[in-house]
Copies of this chain bind each other. A is one copy, B any other.
């Protein structure tokens, strides 16, 4: 076991926890039926590779003879991106497990199947989505994925509706609210890194390019923007509406051709419906801004930008279509009960209620999208689509466009009527300085 991990682990549930390594994995997990069934009975033949490129965890791909392999994901007792100076509870693995299994039931074929969970070791063995790649990579390469927006819109509709008081029995939802309230250490990261630190000169933010500094100063002096960000933070922290993924950016999506899967829900929380969709649309928007930085002689990325736009449209449209279907056919929870509407012959009123509800989700979506753009551009956790652009002047110009767009989304979230309007403003921002 890693000494640093031992020192920093803090609130570890089990004294038996020990981080896996490429060398120890086969011997430590070799007796598990979940492994042997898929990889064969001789652990000595298994090939183990550590591929964790995220910010928090160990991730191993384990392959057997002629097998597709499995993913072994283990939490570390600290933030991998920062180091053991930033302890983080292993319990996030427990919450990820409970999120993954609920998502699998609520939105079939959208998340990796869980084969085994070990709470003491903070370890999940799950389906290896292969030959999928992280979507963020596709968005830099200019790779299109047919049906991606529809799949993500469906995932959001099904998980958000079915985790809420529109669907669950009240006591069951309250039990889950209590369960996931335990994941406060991960919420704390979002609360600080998304809603606060981008808006002042916080030590963790990292460097701001000199040419962007005047714009960043302007954002940080904008009282309306900061108040709005805190209003969104209050919704994030207090509006326990449904079970969210909590970190639904394009690095949490694996895609291959027309297939895709959503991974890494360890930031799971009960929160406002607009958060997941907002983060998702924000990350597509930033990829859109970044395209000129990834253009080549043969591809100016203009057509690829159109594909990103169509994917954003598909996310929102499929979300609203599927959410509306579920509203009409599965509204068995305590909110907007049929006994008050359909059973009284007031179907029209139920449709009006649905439309108002979607309006609220839309406004939240725009707000969360705006702050997500800000924090991924000038906060701690930045995105490779921008960071990999070598031409510094071009990079800063594209980042500046995105920052202004983010502010517009936050401050105009009550005025932006629909996804067409959102995209028209995106194109407008892309013509700016």
Contact = CB atoms under 8 A, between A and B. Distances in A.
Interface of A: 164-165, 170-171, 174-175, 177-179, 181-182, 184-185, 187-188, 191, 196, 199-200, 220-221, 223, 226-227, 230-231, 233-234, 237-241, 334-337, 339-341, 343-344, 346, 348-349, 352-353, 356
Contact of A171 (B184, B200, B231): B184
A230 B220 CA distance: 38
A279 to B, nearest CB: 20
B188 A170 contact: yes
Given A196-B340, A237-B165, A240-B238, A227 B181 contact: no
Q: Chain copies in the assembly?
A: 2
Nearest to A334: B191
Contact of A181 (B174, B230, B341): B174
10 contacts: A178-B181, A181-B181, A196-B339, A220-B344, A221-B344, A223-B346, A223-B352, A237-B334, A238-B240, A240-B240
A230 to B, nearest CB: 5
A357 B345 CA distance: 38
B238 A340 contact: no
**Listed residue (A179, A220, A240) with the most chain B CB atoms within 10 angstroms of its CB:** A240
Contacts of A221: 344, 346
Question: What 4 A-B pairs come out closest when comparing CB atoms?
Answer: A223-B349, A178-B178, A178-B181, A174-B181
Contacts of A175: 181, 184
Contacts of A174: 181-182, 184, 187
